[in-house]
Structure 1
Amino acid sequence: MDNPPDESPDAANPTNGGALQDSKGWDGKLRVDRRAVVTNAEILSDPEYSDEDAPPVEQISADEDLLEDYELDIDDIDLAHCRVSSIPALYLERFTKVEKLCLRQNQIAHIEFPPTLNPTLRELDLYDNLISHIKGLSGLINLTSLDLSFNKLKHIKNLNHLEALTDIYFVQNKIQKIEGLDGLTKLRNLELAANRIREIENLDTLKALEELWLGKNKITELKNIAHLNNLKILSIQSNRLPQITGLSNLPNLEELYISHNALTEISGLDNNVNLRVLDISNNKVAHLSNLGSLERLEELWASSNLLSSFEEVERELAQKKELNTVYFEMNPLQLRSPALYRNKIRLALPQIQQIDATFVRVS
């Protein structure tokens, strides 16, 4: 049946919205056009979208003073796992000698510190919070250590003026690009594991870097690190590397962690004569080759590969006097004869103290 003239379909349903309507369907309230356009549609596709320029959400002051029992001249404040959501609510301006501040595992979304911390603060730990943008650090020119791991960062910004930084920890964020580190000439340790990085880049000014942690990213090539002459530790586990390259100019490299990649052979390490630890576990390496120059090797982790020859183990490793630990479990040489496996390794490598997780000789 057709609706009567001048009457909308909703008029026949007095319960619609719980309000009465007139003959034209108007219920006395101004309604938004059903065809309204969403201007920031990215919110719909990204549940964690945040506008960098939006005003901060109003914070409700805490019912208690978490720092009331702290001496005003304290130099180390630790409020881990205290459900802190507002830094200003802590009234940190009371403390003028703070050198270490730990606010890990809280609910902080915005970095807001009073200027009184600027001259003294050296170590800042904001691990496991809700921070999506690096802001509010401009005055902390004496900061040496910054931990923003397990937050919601997508970009590295507003750091290159913090020239005293020696340690940066940005593990488990959503960072796609290494950037914003120019000028950090004192940086010794950079941790960017468990992000979304596809390329090693923009490390040119980090001449003092000794440790670079890039595990669990999406990197397909080892490059742009040849200038890092002081690098001692490189962790590039759980990436997409088909071969070892780009390390020949790193004579000071002592530890290389390159497990869980797509390696089929050991190569590119001839000049890394100071290498002490090599982890190639969980690859597809079939032969222990190209290890002759690694005379200082102490630990070889090679579990879950395709190694099958005890003779090759003896030939390549028996003369390495400093070698004390090997991991060969889940290789054909272990899977084919698990009962005899450790005895055969001990006979082949009499200097060994540990085979997999088992100590076989006390030094």
Structure 2
Amino acid sequence: MEGRLKARSSGSIPSTLGRQIGVLPVGNPPPRARRPNPRQVLPPPPQRKFADVSSGPVQYSEGNSATLNDNTVSVGRTRNDQLSAKSGKVKVKQTSPPTSDLTSRPLSKKYVPSPPSSSRSVRSLGSSAKVKDTLSSARSTASRSDIEAEREEEFWEKKPSKTVTEQEILDQNQETDVSRIYDINLHAAELTVVPKLEKFPNLRVLDLSCNYIERIENLDQSRDIRELKLYDNRITTIENLKNLKELVTLQLQYNKLKQLGKGLTALTKLRILRVDCNKILRLDAAELSCCVHLTSINISYNLVDSLSALNYLPNLEECYAAGNRIKTIELSRCKKLQDIDVSKNRITDLSGIKSLPNLQTLNISSNQIASLKPLGKSKSLQELYASGNRISDLSFIPDFFPRLEIFNISCNNIKSLDEVCVLERCEDIAELFLYENPFCAPGAEHSHYMGEVQAVIPQLEILDGAHVKRHTQRGAPLMRPMSASTIISVRQVETQMKAMDNEMASFEKNILDRFESLRSSCGLDVNSSPLSTRNPVPAPSLTSQRPSSKSSSRSKIRDALQFASQNLDDAA
């Protein structure tokens, strides 16, 4: 018996296989061929392009061979797949040929067929009747965007309504008393309906943004709301806000509004209104006349063609109306305007905003403006963005806008460098953008203009978005550079340390004196003032006073530096 087993094992196992015990192989083992699973349904073969298929049907088998008029055309596959197909274990035949992508896969909303673009693809579709049916179905099929819109509408119709309960809001704010809830944040909570919030009497801020709300409702009892965020929803009408008498901020951007309507007539304390990125066609004066305290409005990226209704807002300070269809701008009655953005419109004339006394930032980029003279003289203008227009004359800029700090005149029609050199008289100019003008085009006389402009306007800090290196003083250096052999003596180090100690001691004494004055002011001695030991702060001169812009980063930095120089120097 043992002899037979040895004979069988020796006959079945070749002598070349195996390795010695304790010897490891070098490198990765060779890949093993994977045998096909007979139960697995293989995908359809790739589409082959033939000269003519009208003589007979094409038969496909799982071995990826196509029979055409008793002629076998082999499609590139691996050897193991071909062997498995010839063995007959896995063989599937199709009685009807897969004419193209239009008929080989089922039509669904995710797949949008397109008609064939060449005669070769038409011939590969099979019979002429099938070609006609396929082309007619392709032409009758809507585009991808239309199908996606239909699917979205079907989704919203079938989506169940979702809201939140009182207990969920309490758990979110980690509170047990509803009277202590002042801010409710339901951002991106997949809500379809505005929840009922009448049990929260002290609610001040309500965030319902990025949800699926279609209607403003259930807010009649929330009379103390100051800020309401409803952006990125599906709201079509501004309504049911008449009881929100204390509302100050309303955000309705990214919705489906077509008009403001009468929903704002009761909001007499409204100051900030955002309705950008909607479908508003026009602004009516009757819709905004009640919002007399409105200071900021954003109607960008709508379909508005006129801003004349904003003249009934006497306290308006910020107006953002980019990306509309505005041809003429008329805001001469809004004397408090500080920031105007009417870029990406069709404006040709700027006389409607002539000589606004408080205008500080103006963005008129991407319009059809040929001259800046209709703006008139504005001594308060600090930032002017006028790229993408037809402006060719800059000679009057220093006289009209003497306080100009940022000036973007790129992508215009400036043909001479002399027009730019006039800006030398603008003493406060710090940022200048000049690219894509005729005078600096590649191959022009002043194609390398940055060095020339820097030499003419030395006060520039940024030119075409790049920081400008300041020219060093050519005179004698203030200090003689220290050589490598120079050694600081111990006496010099001690002197510096003593000076630092004295400075720290005086600083500490000053802090202690201020702390004592603060304690005395908080005690029973009412007559004492904490400012009694502080040195009087000198009042800024009238020449250094300049209006501060809410949107100007440069003016904010200047105000911060001025505050630091006036208050922190005393503490030192």
Which bracket does the TM-score occupy, shorter chain normalised?
0.7 to 0.9
**Alignment match of 2:269 (pick from 164, 185, 188):** 164
Note closer, same or farther for the CA distance 1:325–1:66 as it changes in structure 2 (3 Å cut).
farther
SS in 1 for 2:288: coil
How far apart are residue 59 of structure 1 and its match?
6.1
Is 1:178 matched with 2:283? yes
**Alignment match of 2:183 (pick from 76, 86, 89):** 76
Superposed CA offset, 1:52-103 (max 9, x none): xxxx999624488752322332222222222111112xx4233222211111
Pairs aligned (count): 305
Moved more, 334-343 or 271-280: 334-343
Is 1:212 matched with 2:319? yes
How far apart are residue 347 of structure 1 and its match?
1.2
For structure 1, which runs of at least 5 residues remain unmatched after alignment? Answer: 1-46, 49-55
SS in 1 for 2:188: coil
Contact 1:243 1:267 in 2 (8 A): no
**Alignment match of 2:253 (pick from 149, 152, 159):** 149
Output the TM-score relative to the length of structure 2.
0.51
Moved over 4 A (4+): 56-59, 62-66
Output the TM-score relative to the length of structure 1.
0.78
For structure 2, which runs of at least 5 residues remain unmatched after alignment? Answer: 1-148, 151-156, 471-557, 559-572
Ranked by relative contact order (alpha carbons within 8 Å, sequence separation 6 or more), the top structure is 1
Is 1:346 matched with 2:489? no
Distance in 2 between residues matched to 1:258 and 1:322, nearest whole Å:
21
Instruction: Give the superposed CA RMSD.
Output: 2.4
Q: Which residue does 2:234 correspond to in 1?
A: 130
Distance in 2 between residues matched to 1:247 and 1:115, nearest whole Å:
40
Distance in 2 between residues matched to 1:210 and 1:79, nearest whole Å:
31
How far apart are residue 193 of structure 1 and its match?
0.7
Q: Which amino acid aligns with 1:207?
A: P
Q: Which residue does 2:390 correspond to in 1?
A: 284
Q: Which residue does 1:221 correspond to in 2?
A: 328
Q: Which amino acid aligns with 2:281?
A: Q
Q: Which amino acid aligns with 2:326?
A: I
Contact 1:190 1:212 in 2 (8 A): yes
Q: Which residue does 1:13 correspond to in 2?
A: none
Q: Which amino acid aligns with 1:335?
A: A
> Superposition pairs for residues 58-73 of structure 1, below 5 Å?
60-62=161-163, 66-67=168-169, 68-70=171-173, 71=175, 72=178, 73=180
Moved more, 252-261 or 339-348: 339-348
SS in 2 for 1:251: coil
Q: Which residue does 2:6 correspond to in 1?
A: none
SS in 2 for 1:246: helix
Distance in 2 between residues matched to 1:92 and 1:254, nearest whole Å:
42
**Alignment match of 1:355 (pick from 463, 467, 475):** 463
How far apart are residue 217 of structure 1 and its match?
0.7
Distance in 1 between residues matched to 2:247 and 2:427, nearest whole Å:
43
Superposed CA offset, 1:274-328 (max 9, x none): 111111101121222431221000110111112232222112x101111111111
Distance in 2 between residues matched to 1:325 and 1:160, nearest whole Å:
43
Distance in 2 between residues matched to 1:63 and 1:97, nearest whole Å:
18
Q: Which residue does 1:103 correspond to in 2?
A: 208
Q: Which residue does 1:117 correspond to in 2?
A: 222
Q: Which residue does 2:363 correspond to in 1?
A: 257
How far apart are residue 361 of structure 1 and its match?
4.6
How far apart are residue 150 of structure 1 and its match?
0.8
Percent identity over paired residues: 28
Note closer, same or farther for the CA distance 1:243–1:332 as it changes in structure 2 (3 Å cut).
same
How far apart are residue 335 of structure 1 and its match?
2.6
